[in-house]
A = this chain, B = another copy of it.
Amino acid sequence: MPHIELGNDLFGIRSLLKYRPETARPMGMLAEVLMRGPGTLTPGERELIAAYVSSRNECGYCTASHAASATVRLPGGATLVDQVLAGPQTAPITPKLAALLQIAGAVQESGKAVRKEDVAAAREAGATDLEIHDTVLIAAAFCMFNRYVDGLATTAQPDPAAYLASAQKNINVGYLASLDPPGTTQQAG
């Protein structure tokens, strides 16, 4: 049961976005630009970074959501996603993506845990500065989303199939489609 009365029966972060539209709007915009905006990392690679960080933060809802998005977007599907979550350094992914996931894993621990060597390795594997930047910010942003979802003890979607349906829908409508306009904060309870 959520720690506060949210006034709706949605799952995970959606229940929070509905509760507080004023903060939902910038968070949705951030997710949209980071995960789907112009860039040389594919949306599938970005979803994989998000799933990996969420998994390290043990956030069940976010892990399932972004693992599903990576699954529907990447040719390797669920098998690849499972391999990456189990350990990016042995998964069949490009050296560049493995190096970026190494950086994302460090960020999950602490910003200070990112070493010069991690960045040099990513660059050597072909990552651009902007890709390194976006990887750090995606990882940092999910350290926020994960804490938001679990810090208020939201309810996770219990039906695994729903995550895949939602991921499929996200491809078409993105991260802003389900938001309410600001000024409508629910004040139940």
In the complex, which residues of chain B have a beta carbon less than 8 angstroms from the beta carbon of A137? Answer: 20, 23, 148
Q: How far is the CB of A181 from chain B (nearest CB, A)?
A: 14
The stretch that binds B, out of A63-71, A72-80, A89-97, A112-120, is A112-120
Q: How far is the CB of A129 from chain B (nearest CB, A)?
A: 4
A138 nearest in chain B by CB position: B23
In the complex, which residues of chain B have a beta carbon less than 8 angstroms from the beta carbon of A57? Answer: 110-111
Q: Please give the number of chain A residues whose Cβ is less than 8 angstroms from any Cβ of chain B in the complex.
A: 51
Contact of A23 with B19 in the complex, beta carbons under 8 Å: no
Find residues 8-23 in chain A having any chain B CB closer than 8 Å to their own CB: 16, 19-20, 22-23
Contact of A147 with B58 in the complex, beta carbons under 8 Å: no
Task: Give 8 A-B pairs besides A114-B151, A136-B152, A140-B144 with Cβ atoms closer than 8 angstroms.
Answer: A3-B114, A16-B133, A22-B37, A103-B151, A106-B151, A107-B151, A129-B189, A133-B152
In the complex, which residues of chain B have a beta carbon less than 8 angstroms from the beta carbon of A140? Answer: 143-145, 147-148, 151
Report A11-53 CB contacts with B as 1/0, cut-off 8 Å.
0000010011011011101100110010000000000000000
Write the residues of chain A forming the contact surface with B, with a CB cutoff of 8 angstroms. Answer: 3-5, 16, 19-20, 22-23, 25-27, 29-30, 33-34, 37, 57-59, 103, 106-107, 110-112, 114, 116, 119, 129-130, 132-133, 136-137, 139-141, 143-153, 185, 187, 189
